[in-house]
Amino acid sequence: MKQLIVFIKKEFLHVFRDRKTLLMLFGLPIAQIVLFGFALSNEIKNSKIVVVDYSKDPVSTQLTAEIAASKYFNVARSLSNARGLEAAFKKGDIKMAVIFPEHFSDDLIHTGKATLQVIADASDPNQATTVTNYLTQIVTSFNARLAQAAGQPLQIGSQTRMLYNPELRGAPNFVPGVMALVLMLVCTMMTSVSIVREKELGTMEILLVSPFKTVYIIIAKLMPNLLISIFNLFVILILSDVFLDLPVKGSLLLLLVDSILFIMTSLSIGLLLSINAKTQQAAMMGSLMGMMLPTMLLTGFLFPIENMPLPLQWLANAVPSRWYFIIVKRVMLKGMGLGSVWKESSILAGMAILLFTISLRRFKIRLQ
Amino acid sequence: METVIHTENLTKRFGSFVACNDLTFDVHQGEIFGFLGANGAGKTTAMRMLCGLLTPTSGQANVAGFDVYSQTNKIKKRIGYMSQKFSLYDNLTVSENIRFYAGIYGMRTPQIRTKTKTLLEELSLTGEAKTLVQELPLGWKQKLAFSVSVVHDPDIVFLDEPTGGVDPVTRRQFWDLIYFAADKGVTVFVTTHYMDEAEYCNRVSIMVDGVIAALDTPEGLKKTYASNDMEEVFYRLARNATRKAD
Amino acid sequence: MRTLLFLLEKEFRQMMRNRGLLSILVIAPMIQLILLPLAADYTVKDIGMAVVDYDHSPFSRKLVDKITASGYFRLVGYEPSYKEALNLVEQDKADLALQIPAHFERDLVVDNNKDLYVAINAIEGTKANLGGAYLASIVSDFNSDIRLQWLGPAPDATPQIEVASSNWYNPLLNFHLFMVPAILVTLVTAIASMQSAFNIVQEKESGTIEQINVTPIPKTLFILGKLIPFLVLSVLVFTLGLLAGWAFYGIVPVGSLWVLYGSLVVYLFSMLGMGLLISTYSGTQMQAMSLAFFFINIFNLMSGVFTAVDSMPKWAQYIVETFPTSHFIKIMRMVVLKGSNWGDIGYHLAAMAVIGVFLNGWAVLNYRKTV
């Protein structure tokens, strides 16, 4: 035990003497998460659109005003005719065009129906569907007001409550997601590169020739990264509370324990990657290229996992960050306890133990 | 005899720390000049200034007739260099390394081909032309690194602790190469820890704490300091040194 | 010029010998590019709904049937109380809870209006928004049906505006057309900047750079000799990516390949410059890696690949304007999907060029001073 502590102390000295790397290890993950918490959301807002009004009557003007007032739209310009549309779309300026045909309100009053033409730039299908839906929503409520003004009977209304995130901010979804992403990637990269670095310098051999157990050496190597990541985690939680209004509603201890398990899985993956890498560069690129996309896409904060084809859902189940994301959302944002996350926590714990054991064994084998 | 290196009061300061203090010496064409000193004495700094890698703080120096302040590019064309890590590219073959360095010094392809052939014969490495450098034993790597450093027939070649870590036989063979080059008129400026190698040089200078404490032929030094060998000379001069590491 | 050729020959030879690295740089990304876009799907569907029906009438059942018949919603179950329905939402077993109050039908006839109660898990904002919108639209339809049924066609029916929508450039709303090119860009970004940052620092760390410094190779030429192989490698990976996109997703760029590749080169120019800049500020490979990863991650997440830049707060949008990646993503999508031409992408191309000149200039100046 005492040997282990000596080792750990030495590893800490290494890390803390390298000021530049230290700054980056602490500063960068934190900076990223705060930035993303403020800037990212899945919402579609301020989409630039164009209105072409051939009719220019009270109804079309009123409806145009309502569209412009909506936070979803940013009426870039009102064209007098639709000829410039194709060019405008190609230039990438606008996402949608709303066209009022001639005699709009006349048709509405005399035939009881008028058709509004909407053209969406579907190169981004998601945005196209969403902005079309938002526009339809505005028209629907406009219609409903027309109906109410005409004294329509039998109105079914709905009172809607948005839970956990009434302002529909992006932070509640992205902060946990990016936390999982950044912790996973940084821990994996740091661990794999630093171990390969020792291999390159030759100092690893010295350690391995010593009478100390390999497992102690590995634990000592992983310690500084573990503790730095835990520190980062605390800073992120504090910043989320102070700047992003996302306090930890549930048990901090539970969150901490699960975070440690999660970090252990990343560190073990880093260890595994370091075994076959001959150079720091190979370790680095292996970690980055191997983990970046899968973690981004399969954690569940960008795309819902339930939507994915079944094989990819299974693949996602093998990605530790997918489970950690659920745990953070439930414990931090909803304030739930162990009872609701025991399944995910056990999976995470199982992964941590499994990955650590496998990587330890392979590490030992490699040396022989 | 022609002077290929001339320094006058050459000084290098890093902040308040004076690495090289008022160095004044000459190196003659074709001689093997040993540049000795303990760790931290300032040898590497001095050599880097002469190679055009570091700008001096004050003083003057000429290498191969060019000024170290303003004509470093011209200096670089006329010198060769072998660093402590004798930077050959591990994942290139022997001939690929020769081709690269010869090429960037401006040699033409037919020239390179003949030079490679000659070089490999001189080193008895003809069979290893297509071997990756990382697979060569240390001694061969060193010899190859030296040959590569003189592939473009420079006026002067700077060797920074070239014989670290090899057995005495290989070291002797290495020095044979140095003699061979010197015979052809190349001036050799070599730093080393091995005191027996100091005996092989025409003249030797010993740096202690940033200054040149002694400069003479090995014979002359042994007489001046009443010693039997260079090791004793060195010991007498360096034991009172205050600086411990580079 | 000859010197440059020798430099390039050496770099390419070394690159080719490094089999392990090459497979990481080429094969791993390709596999991911082929498999992972299948995961990218934003469509809001399969929304889990927990119903609390205090009315227990055929009327309320008809409403629930109509909602589930739309295909957007999935009935998780009927709960005896609102509290229990909320519980399901809390445990992520349902996405929303719908409460139909007691005597719904009766009160609607008597008071002429009556409200339903809906609670939606809004952690994922857009899903909540769209889910709510779909629900409102279905309820509104139900409303009209009821009116028609009970009151008959009204003589003076209220005028209603209809929306006729059409989708240009991607009428089938194929999301892969949108995501695959963008994901390819994230991969190429990571490769180009990481490699250029790493490689030069590696030479610094191992000391081989000193050997180069003693030779008469001008520093700018050395830099060029380092960057060109990575440019070639990145273009190669990009090309493989386009081929994979064509083979597996049927993506054929509508616009000109000249425009695409021309923009790619300008983009890589700026990314390689960034890597170079990072290498001048790093003493060890670990430092280079941390710094490069920081920028790569920010570029990849904020440049509009997965989330819309328009939705960001103004200050964030200004920052994103300085990212070469955000411009190239736009160009990629515009050229591949809409066939935009040089003139259309001019602004973005110029932006990337300016940023590239700035980064490379700074990098070269710094390199001269420090290496």
- The tens digit of pLDDT for each residue in A23-77 reads 878 888 888 888 888 888 877 888 899 998 888 888 888 999 999 998 889 888 7
Quickly state the pLDDT bin for C323 (edges 50, 70, 90): very high
Quickly state the pLDDT bin for B86 (edges 50, 70, 90): low
What is the spatial distance between Cα C82 and Cα C86, in angstroms, rounded to a whole number? 6
State the pLDDT at residue A368: 54
Phi-psi category of residue B52: left, alpha or beta, with phi > 0 → left and psi -120 to 50 → alpha: left
* Three-class secondary structure of residue B159 per DSSP: strand
C18 contact B CB<8A: yes
Average pLDDT of the residues in C55-80: 91
Residue in chain B lying closest to C209 (CA): B87
State the pLDDT at residue C156: 57
What is the spatial distance between Cα A199 and Cα A277, in angstroms, rounded to a whole number? 10
State the pLDDT at residue C96: 92
> Considering chain B, what percentage of its residues have pLDDT values greater than 90?
31
Quickly state the pLDDT bin for B122 (edges 50, 70, 90): confident
Average pLDDT of the residues in C12-32: 87
Residue B244 has pLDDT above 70, yes or no: no
Per-residue tokens: B141? 């790597």
CA distance A225 to chain C (A): 13
State the pLDDT at residue A358: 92
What Rg value do the Cα atoms of chain B yield, rounded?
Answer: 18
Helices (H), chain C: 2-17, 19-35, 58-69, 82-90, 104-111, 125-151, 175-206, 208-214, 219-249, 257-280, 285-302, 314-321, 324-333, 342-370
Per-residue tokens: B29? 């064409």
C-beta pairs of A5-11 under 8 Å, 24+ apart in sequence: A7/A212, A7/A216, A7/A217, A7/A219, A7/A220, A8/A219, A8/A220, A8/A223, A8/A224, A10/A220, A11/A220, A11/A221, A11/A223, A11/A224
Contacts of A293 in chain C (CB under 8 A): 29, 32, 36, 183, 186-187
- For residues C307 and C226, is the Cβ–Cβ distance under 8 A? no
Residue count of chain C, please give it. 371
Average pLDDT of the residues in B79-85: 84
C202 contact B CB<8A: no
Kindly determine whether residue C40 and residue A302, on different chains, have CB atoms separated by under 8 Å.
yes
State the pLDDT at residue C271: 95
C2 contact B CB<8A: yes
Kindly determine whether residue A118 and residue C311, on different chains, have CB atoms separated by under 8 Å.
no
Measure Cα distances from A275 to A224, A281, A358 in Å: 19, 13, 11
Measure Cα distances from B103 to B75, B79, B113, C215 in Å: 18, 15, 11, 11
Quickly state the pLDDT bin for B246 (edges 50, 70, 90): very low
Q: Which residues of B135-166 are buried (b: 16+ CB within 10 A; e: fewer)?
A: ebeebbbbbbbbbbbbbbebbbbbbbbbbeeb
- For residues A114 and A104, is the Cβ–Cβ distance under 8 A? yes
State the pLDDT at residue C307: 85
* Three-class secondary structure of residue A99 per DSSP: strand
C214 contact B CB<8A: yes
How crowded is the C-beta side of B98, counted as CA atoms within 13 Å?
A: 29
DSSP label at residue A247: -
DSSP B36-102: EE-TTSSHHHHHHHHHTSS--SEEEEEETTEETTT-HHHHHHHEEEE-TT----TTSBHHHHHHHHH
Per-residue tokens: A170? 């992006």
User: What number is the ipTM of this complex?
Assistant: 0.84
Residue A108 has pLDDT above 90, yes or no: no
State the pLDDT at residue C155: 58
C-beta pairs of A218-223 under 8 Å, 24+ apart in sequence: A218/A271, A218/A360, A218/A363, A219/A4, A219/A7, A219/A8, A220/A4, A220/A7, A220/A8, A220/A10, A220/A11, A221/A11, A221/A191, A221/A194, A221/A195, A222/A191, A222/A267, A222/A271, A223/A8, A223/A11, A223/A12
Contacts of B81 in chain C (CB under 8 A): 211, 214
Nearest to B147 by CA among B109, B127, B121: B121
What is the spatial distance between Cα A117 and Cα A119, in angstroms, rounded to a whole number? 7
Residue in chain C lying closest to A33 (CA): C298
* Three-class secondary structure of residue A294 per DSSP: helix
- For residues C64 and C58, is the Cβ–Cβ distance under 8 A? no
State the pLDDT at residue B202: 93
Q: Which residue of C67, C108, C168 to mutate against A (max A Cβ within 10 Å)?
A: C168
Residue C99 has pLDDT above 90, yes or no: yes
- For residues A240 and A313, is the Cβ–Cβ distance under 8 A? no
What is the spatial distance between Cα A342 and Cα A348, in angstroms, rounded to a whole number? 10
- Kindly report the number of other CB atoms within 10 A of residue A227's CB atom: 14
C175 contact A CB<8A: yes
DSSP A110-131: HHSEEEEEEEEETTSHHHHHHH
What is the spatial distance between Cα B81 and Cα B103, in angstroms, rounded to a whole number? 16
- Helix, strand, coil distribution of chain A in percent, nearest 5: 70, 10, 20
- For residues B45 and B12, is the Cβ–Cβ distance under 8 A? yes
- For residues A275 and A355, is the Cβ–Cβ distance under 8 A? no
pLDDT digits (tens, 9 = 90+) for C335-354: 998 888 898 889 999 999 99
Higher pLDDT: C154 or A107? It is A107
- Give, for A47, the enclosing helix (H) or strand (E): strand A47-53
**For residue B84, with 0-12 CB atoms within 10 Å meaning exposed, 13-18 middle and 19 or more buried, which class applies?**
middle
Kindly determine whether residue A89 and residue C168, on different chains, have CB atoms separated by under 8 Å.
yes
- For residues B55 and B69, is the Cβ–Cβ distance under 8 A? yes
Q: Do chains A and C touch (3 or more CB pairs under 8 A)?
A: yes
Average pLDDT of the residues in C242-258: 91
Any idea of the CA torsion for A218, A223, A228, A234, to the nearest 10 degrees?
120
Q: Contact partners of B by the rule of 3+ C-beta pairs under 8 A?
A: C
Average pLDDT of the residues in C231-235: 94
> Considering chain C, what percentage of its residues have pLDDT values greater than 70?
98
What is the C-alpha end-to-end distance of chain B, expressed in Å? 34
- Give, for A162, the enclosing helix (H) or strand (E): strand A155-163
Q: Do chains C and B touch (3 or more CB pairs under 8 A)?
A: yes
Nearest to B162 by CA among B76, B106, B80: B80
Higher pLDDT: B246 or B216? It is B216
Nearest to C259 by CA among C169, C339, C350, C187: C339
Nearest to B88 by CA among B125, B33, B43: B125
What is the spatial distance between Cα C213 and Cα B87, in angstroms, rounded to a whole number? 12
Q: For helices A280-298 and C19-35, give the axis angle rounded to 10 degrees.
A: 10
What is the spatial distance between Cα B181 and Cα B82, in angstroms, rounded to a whole number? 14
Contacts of B85 in chain C (CB under 8 A): 206-208
List the A73-79 sheet strands across, edge first. A73-79, A47-53, A96-100, A113-121, C160-168
What is the spatial distance between Cα C90 and Cα A335, in angstroms, rounded to a whole number? 10
CA distance A277 to chain C (A): 8
Q: Which of C41, C109, C170 sits opposite A303 (nearest CB)?
A: C41
Kindly determine whether residue B85 and residue C17, on different chains, have CB atoms separated by under 8 Å.
no
Residue in chain C lying closest to B72 (CA): C216
- For residues C198 and C278, is the Cβ–Cβ distance under 8 A? no
Quickly state the pLDDT bin for B241 (edges 50, 70, 90): low
DSSP label at residue C66: H
State the pLDDT at residue C119: 93
- When the pLDDT of each residue in chain C is averaged and rounded to a whole number, the result is 88
State the pLDDT at residue B94: 92
- For residues A264 and A61, is the Cβ–Cβ distance under 8 A? no
Higher pLDDT: B164 or B1? It is B164
Residue B245 has pLDDT above 70, yes or no: no
Measure Cα distances from A311 to A314, A315, A320, A355, C40 in Å: 5, 6, 17, 22, 14
DSSP label at residue A334: S
Average pLDDT of the residues in A296-315: 88
pLDDT digits (tens, 9 = 90+) for A177-210: 988 998 999 899 989 998 898 888 877 777 777 7
- Amino acid at the residue B173: Q
Kindly determine whether residue B53 and residue C3, on different chains, have CB atoms separated by under 8 Å.
no
Contacts of A38 in chain C (CB under 8 A): 313, 316
Residue A322 has pLDDT above 90, yes or no: yes
- Give, for B20, the enclosing helix (H) or strand (E): strand B17-28
Residue B168 has pLDDT above 60, yes or no: yes
Kindly determine whether residue C210 and residue B106, on different chains, have CB atoms separated by under 8 Å.
no
- Give, for C98, the enclosing helix (H) or strand (E): strand C96-100
Q: Which residue of C19, C210, C214, C217 to mutate against B (max B Cβ within 10 Å)?
A: C214
Helices (H), chain B: 43-51, 72-78, 94-104, 109-122, 138-149, 168-183, 195-198, 218-224, 230-238
CA A255 to chain centre: 18
